[in-house]
Structure 1
């Protein structure tokens, strides 16, 4: 199982607020497939995701992932 901690995220993103990183860590725990679909922290921030995962996340333009299942 994939696990991510706020401490790890703080080390990776030192300029982000701890609140944002804590919310992201909680979001990842609730939505384990987030990384499997190729999404990242920047996608999370860019879409202003609320803790209710939906399949309506916009497609990633960098790697060409369409977001379709």
Structure 2
């Protein structure tokens, strides 16, 4: 299955959750938000949110400002 992460394609042989994806790619989720197919996924849902072939994941840093 192919997952696009921050515009880079990654191939996986098994279904995986968002948490597993972050661990496999060694991405630090601290202060970050995740969107799957342009929909923000709450952090509480990351352990259970299963990715599907062709999903587009965007990991971005939350920025405070005013």
- TM class, shorter-length: under 0.3
Task: State the TM-score, normalizing by the size of structure 2.
Answer: 0.26
**Per chain length, whose mean CA-contact separation is higher, i.e. which structure has more relative contact order (CA < 8 Å, sep 6+)?**
2
Task: State the TM-score, normalizing by the size of structure 1.
Answer: 0.26
Higher helix share: 1
Higher strand share: 2
